A and B are shown apart, each in its own frame.
Chain A
């Protein structure tokens, strides 16, 4: 079954760094698997935990949050706040069998198109290996 399973990945990427990197990866014609849905946000600091929870309950098999490297945040410190929120979800979600690996936080700078493509491809492969999110088959969520 897992060989037929194609994961759906949602990515919250910051406008200033990772979104630009995604753009660069695209215009540079880097090969990326088509399992990703990008959501551009102004800063990872605005990604409330509930966005990630809702994604996982509504069909996403993994959620990527990606922003500027520490020190590079356009709003000075939004990425540090995102790190605490992802840390919080890392403690809550595994208590209900949602694997820690399904929520990933990375820093990808605007010039790192290759890093973005590698991150995305790596994450998609990891989740394909891990299998579908339990919520996909649940009528009650």
Chain B
């Protein structure tokens, strides 16, 4: 394993080079379609698109610093059940990790999908991406974002900052992919290394007939990137803890929440088919509201905001991959990603669980051992 092929870059344009790679995959008889972000209408947000015609890959921009949604959920739709054809999916590392979590819950399958991971340099919030584009051609903007050398965070490119989730993401390199485009450390005007990370990927890469490529400093670049981001993450967690240490603080932190549940909709690992907060459990009667209000003299409406967020933490924090789509989706700019990652850091550590790391690790709340967590149980007599 661990073949590294050389993807030649022409005209200083790595995006076109990756389009060429995808075209090569699509022309391979075993791949029927490619899921990849595509600029429709020649501008604006690149949306995940299932491309089956190689000619339509000209709009594909997998390097755009835009992240409209976590594609893990879309891939789940494409792989639940059979199409009879294999597809390739170009995903960010956090999308792969979220998809692995969904596969563990039988909400997707890796059987008929080839995962193409790209080293992730981060993305802007949806609203910031528009500011970043500033009317430019999106492909030009993508190239300007990455510059000549892959792998250095450019948080201030275009006058807007990368999303907080990306700045504090310690997983810039894809895990559990079949093929990896090694953006980090690459000279983007010259060539990109394509690494095979599974037997399946190896076979596909060999079929493409690309020349071999040597070490180009990717590991070192990634290491430096992880260091910066980990520091950022730790500072973020500390800052969040400092302002959410009591229930009153938490309530204030979430005070702009309008119970729209967008964070739940955007969350790739909020896995329930029907959320309890959408059921008539919460169809309270007018006299109930009056009763609750009278008990304390007032009642904030809509009710159950803290309840909703605490429940979500209990349900998804173990699987939180830190993609930040919750914050991206929040209409009131509540830093929910920071909150959920802070909680997840502790819950995941306590169960020794890293979401998306391995298909062989079952979700902690789906299994148990007979002899564990004795300190959780009290003994009176």
Contacts and interface: CB of A to CB of B under 8 A. Distances in A.
Interface residues of B, number: 48
B45 to A, nearest CB: 34
B1 interface: no
A104 interface: yes
Interface in B293-338: 295-300, 303-307, 310-311, 313-315, 317-318
B306 A141 contact: yes
B367 to A, nearest CB: 8
Given A92-B317, A140-B251, A141-B300, A83 B376 contact: yes
B121 to A, nearest CB: 31
Interface in B157-205: none
B368 A80 contact: yes
A39 interface: no
Contact of A106 (B300, B346, B380): B380
B377 A54 contact: no
Interface size class of A (residues with CB under 8 A): 35 or more
Contacts of B296: 137-139
A37 interface: no
A138 B379 contact: no
Given A90-B376, A96-B244, A97-B247, A139 B311 contact: no
Nearest to B347: A91
Given A50-B307, A92-B310, A98 B381 contact: no
Interface string B215-259: 000000000000000000000000001001111111100010000
B381 A97 contact: no
Contacts of A97: 245-247, 249
A6 interface: no
A118 B347 contact: no
A49 B300 contact: no
A9 interface: no
A3 interface: no
B376 A95 contact: no
Interface in A48-72: 49-50, 53-54, 57, 59, 70-71
Contacts of A115: 380-381
B269 interface: no
B364 interface: yes
Nearest to B312: A50
Contacts of A138: 247-248, 251, 296
Interface of B, helix, strand, loop or mixed by DSSP: helix
B245 A89 contact: no
Contacts of B260: none
A95 B251 contact: no
A104 to B, nearest CB: 5
A84 B255 contact: no
Contacts of B246: 96-97, 134
A40 interface: no
A53 B350 contact: no
A86 B350 CA distance: 12
A106 B377 contact: yes
A30 interface: no
Contact of B380 (A50, A95, A119, A135): A119
B287 interface: no
Interface string A74-98: 0001001101111111111101111
A34 interface: no
Interface of A: 49-50, 53-54, 57, 59, 70-71, 77, 80-81, 83-93, 95-98, 104-107, 114-115, 118-119, 122-123, 134-135, 137-141
Which 4 residue pairs across A and B have the least CB separation, nearest first? A97-B246, A49-B314, A80-B368, A50-B311
Interface of B: 241, 244-251, 255, 276, 295-300, 303-307, 310-311, 313-315, 317-318, 342-343, 346-347, 350-351, 364-365, 368-370, 372-373, 376-381
21 contacts: A49-B314, A49-B315, A53-B310, A53-B314, A59-B295, A81-B365, A83-B372, A83-B376, A88-B365, A91-B347, A92-B317, A93-B310, A96-B245, A105-B378, A123-B380, A134-B246, A135-B247, A139-B296, A139-B299, A140-B251, A140-B305
Given A91-B350, A95-B245, A134-B248, 11 more contacts: A49-B315, A54-B307, A80-B370, A83-B368, A88-B365, A91-B347, A98-B247, A134-B247, A135-B247, A140-B255, A141-B300
